[in-house]
Amino acid sequence: MPVQHPPSLSIRRPPTALVALLLSLLLGLALPAAASDLLGGGPRSSDLLGGPTITGAVGPPLPEAEAFQVELAAESAGRLLLRFRIAPGYYVYRDKIRVAVERPAGLAVAVESWPPARTHSDPFFGEQAVYFDEATLPLALTPATGGTQAVLRVDFMACQDGGICYPPLQRTLAVDLPAAPAAPATRGLLLALGFALLGGLILNLMPCVLPILSLKALSLAGSPGPAASRRTALGYTAGVVVGFSALGVFALVLRELGLVLGWGFQLQQPAVVAGLALLMLAIGLALSGLFTLGAGAAGLGDALARRSGSTGDFFTGLLAVVVAAPCTAPFMGVALAHAFTAPPMAGFAVFVALGLGLALPFLLIGFVPALARRLPRPGAWMETFKQALAFPMYLTAAWLAWVLAQQRGADAVGWLLGGAVLLAFGLWAGERLRFRAAGWRLLAAAPLLAGLAVLGPIHRLPAEAPATTTAPSRPAADGSEPWSAARLAALRAEGRPVFVNMSADWCITCKANERTVLASARFHAALRETGAAYLKGDWTSVDPAITAYLQGHGAAGVPFYAVYPADGGPPRRLPELLSPGLVEQALHEAARQATSPGGTTR
């Protein structure tokens, strides 16, 4: 727990009590009354060494191993029981218990629910939620990997009632996990695949994917017949599925190497963001007519032209996967959480299902003539529409440049703009020289040379974000405080409801929620009425603390929203797409739990 005891905590007791404590710990024996009287100067020295507890226990403090016994047992492959056995007259702080997985890599643990705690008047920290006698915490493991051994580290803080407080305590516990039953594992995979298919389908409606879908609809509208429509749909589907599969393989390989990842992890790399910005710019220039995508040199035959069309469909599918990365559709969170924690083959299947869901509308249009007939007829409008689609691409490039500025500052944007000029010049020069005499044709490779040249500016991007003079604890303009595990724990210890927003600048869904819901007067009124705190974590760049927090709550990435109740109970996770009424209701429910019959009155 990041909230630490004051360094002088244990010496606030009289010095004679410390001497008695040291003697008892070193000798492993309770001090006789005569020695206690001699050290304390009177018969009341026993009170200073511990005094009567709520259960009537008296005497010097016990060694911590005797006062606090911690046990771990496996209830199933995905559920453990952590039990504290506490000696009479001693207690453990509920909000200072922390559990983490030491091994195996890739395993995450979270407390499912906290057992009821007692409100205890602590002489140093005020009213605190504590456990006396015994407390059993159910722990959820993800993934539910049976047939192996898990090693957990438990950190906690504890005191003797009316006596000393121990330094921060720690236990390392090992438990053998039973094999997971085959049927639940199969049901979990089927459910994840269903959610992935549905999430990929809904992803077609997200704003980041719409420009690419418009391009593909334009291609299908211009198809000369059903056979061509089927080829277009299959080429696009192959590109989408291969793109998602490659992304899944890359993520799963990194996971097996011990890295903890989430959806959108590639956009945490400034070089990837800069490369995507330049790619969006190039596509926009092509749609504007600056150069021709996929055009070959003069004299190539019709067969190559047809092959270029199929290749274009395939790469359009790959592009759809690239631009879909900043978006998270409903149902995707559950599927991706399973993919990032499941065995490799199951995780790979989830990524394939996401690709099939994204490509499904175009497969239906390509293979169901009745749907294809509903598309508008080809005509001169198609060229105008194609040029109009360039502007969403330019906007996407501008947005990615803004994301790069958030990650690496203005210098990074300067290098990006230099690369954009190189790229635009190369594409222009290549188009101008493409049909010149044979002596000039070597210069027609200018687009390729420009593409290689922009690697220089990308390589020159600053390695670190610029230093900021803003105090990290200062509230932002939207009323939020920077998230940290320590700040969250401190607010929960105060008995306040807490709204947690995990976001990223490259996450379109996050920004849409923040503009439409979290910036509204209704949301801020609910915060004031409930006394809730608003913590916001920024996952735009790699942040191991936020990644661990997301993994601990079974989340594959951002957006992630959770409302912590005032009584210290488990948080309520909200869906990826928010509404003002949903958030308002969750905050009021979290505030009411402070005085509910099952809650702890603060």
Cα 342 to Cα 349: distance, rounded to the nearest angstrom: 10
- Which CATH architecture group holds 481-592? 3-Layer(aba) Sandwich (3.40)
Q: What percent of the chain has pLDDT over 70?
A: 72
Q: Does the pLDDT value for residue 3 go beyond 60?
A: no
Q: Average pLDDT of 536-562?
A: 86
Task: Please tell me which residue, 469 or 238, carries the higher pLDDT value.
Answer: 238
E strand residue ranges, 235-383: none
Cis peptide before 143 (omega within 30 of 0): yes
Q: What is the DSSP code (8-state) at residue 165?
A: B
Please give the pLDDT value at position 35.
33
Q: Which among 85, 242, 102 has a CA at the least distance from the CA of 158?
A: 85
Domain borders along the chain are: 1-180, 182-459, 481-592
Weakest-pLDDT range from 51-55, 200-204, 313-317, 380-384: 51-55
134-142 and 169-176: which strand pairing? unpaired
Q: What is the DSSP code (8-state) at residue 514?
A: I
Weakest-pLDDT range from 94-98, 339-343, 523-527: 339-343
Q: Which residues does residue 503 pair with via DSSP β-bridges, in sequence order?
A: 538
Task: Please tell me which residue, 229 or 29, carries the higher pLDDT value.
Answer: 229
pLDDT digits (tens, 9 = 90+) for 434-467: 666 554 555 556 556 666 777 777 877 877 766 6
Q: Does the pLDDT value for residue 52 go beyond 80?
A: no
Please give the pLDDT value at position 526.
95
pLDDT digits (tens, 9 = 90+) for 150-184: 899 999 999 988 888 899 999 999 998 887 665 55
- Which CATH architecture group holds 1-180? Sandwich (2.60)
Task: Please tell me which residue, 375 or 301, carries the higher pLDDT value.
Answer: 375
Task: Please tell me which residue, 162 or 400, carries the higher pLDDT value.
Answer: 400
Cα 458 to Cα 449: distance, rounded to the nearest angstrom: 15
Please give the pLDDT value at position 598.
43
**Which range has the top average pLDDT, 90-94, 113-117, 450-454?**
90-94
pLDDT band at 542 (very low <50, low <70, confident <90, very high): confident
Please give the pLDDT value at position 383.
78
Q: Does the pLDDT value for residue 187 go beyond 80?
A: no
| Average pLDDT of the chain, as a whole number | 76
79-86 and 68-76: which strand pairing? antiparallel
Task: Please tell me which residue, 569 or 220, carries the higher pLDDT value.
Answer: 569
